[in-house]
Chain A
Amino acid sequence: MSRGNEMLKEEKVFKDPVHRYIHVNDRLIWDLIGTKEFQRLRRVRQLGTTFLTFHGAEHTRFNHSLGVYEIMRRMIEVFHGRPHWNEEDRLLCLATALLHDIGHGPFSHSFEKVFDTDHESWTREIINGETEVNAVLRRMGDQFPREVADVIEKTHPNKLVVSMISSQIDADRMDYLQRDAFYTGVSYGHFDMERILRVMRPLDDQVVIKSTGMHAVEDYIMSRYQMYWQVYFHPVTRSAEVILNKILRRAKYLYLNGYVFNQSPAHLKPFFDGDISIEDYLKLDEMVIFYYFQVWEEEEDEILADLCSRFLHRRLFQYVEFNQHFIMNEWAGLQERFKAIGVDPEYYLVIDFSSDLPYDFYRPGEEEERMPIHLLMNDRKLRELSRQSDVVEAISGKKRTDHKLYYPSDVLHTPGQESEKREILEILSG
């Protein structure tokens, strides 16, 4: 048995709607799940504002993290006894899978943009700092927390272990695609994970797929592509994200300009001041954020109150496509017209970009960055996936981008300054 760990007397089992059961046998993993930092993930949704589009998307980073752990556990079962797999890495892989999202805060994306924080650096802080997670990990040795953090950061020298948690086909993606599909209720996002797990093989520096599993991998790549465009970049979700971002920006602006809030935003002050401790960071969850939004809905500042009301009651912004013509010819004029009708374009006229590269491969000398998926052929040679699969080849390296302009349509249809508003609507309708 590994130092600092023992097997539980009786296996612990979580019931999971995606993987059916999640099995825990190691004391280390059980104790990590029990830490307050991990339990906090129950209060952070996995998909941020997506619940405003797909009402089922209420699942949290807690059940996703358990799911990634379970996939990793099954992957290790397949690797057991095979060449290149070192059983001593088992707990490193399991702990990493479980903790890979520990640094995420509520609505991470918006928070990171407004407060210039980074959930990955918070992951490191939580794993290496004075936390319950760190105390549990240190039972495995003083260097163990650091190793876990390095795997998550992708700077660990063991590239096989890194690729199991972050690559173009890893435990993290395999869980979130299936879980997000399940909770949003969409039919995309499904693929045969059991098959993929059965054909995964460890090599020195990466996980590869037996060539017989190619079609299951094709399915996985395509489901990822569809999920991005149908769920993750859904324009209604993006609209909610845009408003959330603007609420935080407005609150920060008001705070820094000496505005006196009816209810002091104590939890957010360290973020406004840019001086955040681990304790401050861990205190923040979505419940706290929603509390402030409820309070701010009553604030005297009209912009803050309006944006909070829009978010809470799902009165989101409308959108139009945004293109080069727009930015060169209409953008400045549109901003001026918004100002003329008393609507601050800084908060009510927002360009949003989405982009996804479904699959890419490393081209020598071309400075591309993605480690390809390799198929293990019958002659034991490796072949890059898109060279073998026509389906994957068709979408390889093809980035799809989407630009939209969000604005409050309701304001443009209210009485007053009708001619100015009509002009704006004409510009927006192209």
Chain B
Amino acid sequence: MLDQHINVLSLLKRVGEITGRKKFQKIVFISKKLGMPFHEKYNFHRYGPYSEELSLRLEELQQFGFISEIKEEKAGYHQYRYQVAANGEDFLNTKGNDRETFEQQKTVIEDMNACSSKFLELASTILFLEPADKEEIIKKVHTLKKTQKYSKQDIEQAYAHIEYWRQHLNKGR
């Protein structure tokens, strides 16, 4: 019951804060693709993989007072900052927080959180397009993400990060 909410909440607790809705979306997508227990359904949208379900989950967590969403004015746009609220801490404590605490995966999640959302958009797009071969994926990334102008170096870096995340998680198993 509420397992999926607890997973999202636990993930946020591990990293302390996530800045940006897009970043949140991509971290959960990548985590899911790497085998972490997220079941939100993703489709391909303007910025790559996007889940309406996760959007709803975040909204519910906010309505329950479990997470705080702080809206900040940036140059010409708004950005959202997410943290676990006191009620959320209490809820996790009452649940024992013993299911999916992501202790093993903490380093990987933190590493993702340290990346820019533009970079995570690239990494998650690559993962979405798998299992096609690399050459085909690169061609498609250039077509689908023309405006982001990802360089060859960006793409290689994304592949390297994905590999690092995978290896790290496999080690923990």
Q: A247 to B76, alpha carbons, bound, how many Å?
A: 50
B103 → chain A closest CB, angstroms: 23
List the A side residues contacting B63 at CB < 8 Å: 324, 401, 403
Instruction: Say which one of A110-118, A260-268, A388-396, A419-427 lies at the interface with B.
Output: A110-118
Q: Which of A112, A154, A328, A364 contacts B43 (CB 8 A)?
A: A154
Q: A154 to B1, alpha carbons, bound, how many Å?
A: 33
Residues from 84 to 126 in B contacting A, C-beta threshold 8 Å: 87, 90-91, 94, 117
Q: A335 to B77, alpha carbons, bound, how many Å?
A: 44
List the A side residues contacting B87 at CB < 8 Å: 328
Known: A365-B76, A367-B22. A401 touches B56 (CB 8 A): yes
Q: A245 to B67, alpha carbons, bound, how many Å?
A: 28
Interface residue A399 (Cβ < 8 Å from any Cβ of B): yes
Q: Residues of A with Cβ closer than 8 Å to B?
A: 112-113, 116, 118, 120, 153-155, 157, 324, 327-328, 332, 335, 345-346, 349-351, 353, 355, 357, 362-367, 369-371, 399, 401, 403
A328 → chain B closest CB, angstroms: 6
List the A side residues contacting B60 at CB < 8 Å: 353, 401, 403
Q: Which of B78, B90, B117 contacts A366 (CB 8 A)?
A: B78
Q: A118 to B44, alpha carbons, bound, how many Å?
A: 14
Chain A, Cβ-Cβ closest to B39: A116
Interface residue B46 (Cβ < 8 Å from any Cβ of A): yes
List the B side residues contacting A153 at CB < 8 Å: 44
Contact (Cβ within 8 A) B46 A363: no
List the A side residues contacting B90 at CB < 8 Å: 328
B87 → chain A closest CB, angstroms: 6
Contact (Cβ within 8 A) A367 B20: yes
Known: A364-B76, A364-B77, A367-B22. A155 touches B44 (CB 8 A): yes
B69 → chain A closest CB, angstroms: 12
Contact (Cβ within 8 A) B39 A113: yes
Q: A397 to B8, alpha carbons, bound, how many Å?
A: 23
Chain B, Cβ-Cβ closest to A113: B39
Chain A, Cβ-Cβ closest to B4: A113
Q: Which of B46, B78, B80, B87 has the most CB of A within 10 A?
A: B46
Return 16 A-B CB contacts under 8 Å, by A number. A116-B39, A118-B41, A155-B128, A157-B144, A328-B64, A350-B1, A353-B56, A355-B56, A357-B52, A363-B77, A364-B76, A365-B77, A366-B78, A371-B46, A399-B56, A399-B59
List the B side residues contacting A370 at CB < 8 Å: 45-46
Q: A139 to B129, alpha carbons, bound, how many Å?
A: 25
Contact (Cβ within 8 A) B2 A351: yes
Chain B, Cβ-Cβ closest to A150: B140
